[in-house]
Amino acid sequence: MLESLLAVSGLVLLRDSVQWEGRSLLKALIKKSVLCGEQVHILGCEVSEEEFREGFDASINSQLVYLDLYRDPLNWSKTGEAFPGGLLGVLRAMRGKTDPRPVTIALDSLSWLLLHLPCTTLCQTLYALNYQDSSLGFHPECSLLPFMPYVLCPSPGDSSPVQQVRVLGLLHEELHGPGPVGALSSLAQSEVTLSGTAGQASAHILYRRPQQHPTVKVDPTTHLTFNLHLSKKEKEAKDNLTLPFQFSSEKQQALLCPSLGQATSYIFYEPDVYDDLDQEDPDDDLDI
């Protein structure tokens, strides 16, 4: 299972609960990433660094880049260790740019980050971690999230990832409503939902195909089943058509050039094609 989860880049969402904790699975994925020769960055928010590193060998611990937000999340001690830009600056700084090795970023946890960041901001930052340039543009065609009118997407020139980046995000889904859970779920390339019965733990794994984002503008009228444009012959027929609400020449002359002493009220009757004008039997259409 670990190999299959680490075979894809993007966000790997680990959804746990009170009964079935997911930090052990997160640490197992971290260990496997280190053994595969990847860079591993950890953002620790919920437990101390000492507690999180328990269970790892010294060879594993020496290769982990650990950022501790548990001890002083708001930098009240003014140690100078905080990154510029707050939490968003921390997340962006965790993505390596000089080392060509694949990068794994472990977030312990997304639930803690959701308490300190707006859900939209966190989702946009997670999405941007896979791309070389963090200066993003607005592309309405690339809309991914149901709660956003647009999503921040890379500009067409920077649409290819500079390196493989994997984000392991632990989410305590019982702490959040369907909105944040659904938003993070829509960003995830794979999801692991931990559950179990009769004391036996199980993991339900869902894989998604990588999102494809258009880099060129698509004509929305390309595949319509009807034609929005008129040919020259159709345009001439349209221009020569007399509409039923248009004035006849008699009406126009009477209204534009009234004669002196003429009454100011007129009744104009223009017979319809279905009118019965037989004066001998005006009620023959009644079948009497």
Write the pLDDT tens digit of every residue in 170-190: 999 999 999 999 999 999 989
Q: Is residue 30 part of a domain?
A: yes
Confidence of residue 155 (pLDDT cuts 50, 70, 90): very low
Q: Is residue 212 part of a domain?
A: no
- Domain range for 78: 2-207
85-129 confidence digits (pLDDT tens): 566 667 767 665 556 788 899 999 899 999 888 999 888 888 887
Q: Is residue 149 part of a domain?
A: yes
Q: Is residue 112 part of a domain?
A: yes
Confidence of residue 63 (pLDDT cuts 50, 70, 90): very high
Q: Into how many domains does the chain fold?
A: 1
Q: Is residue 8 part of a domain?
A: yes
Q: Is residue 252 part of a domain?
A: no
Yes or no: say if 53 and 209 are a contact pair by the CB < 8 Å rule: no
Q: Is residue 277 part of a domain?
A: no
Question: What is the CATH number for 157?
Answer: 3.40.50.300
Q: Is residue 242 part of a domain?
A: no
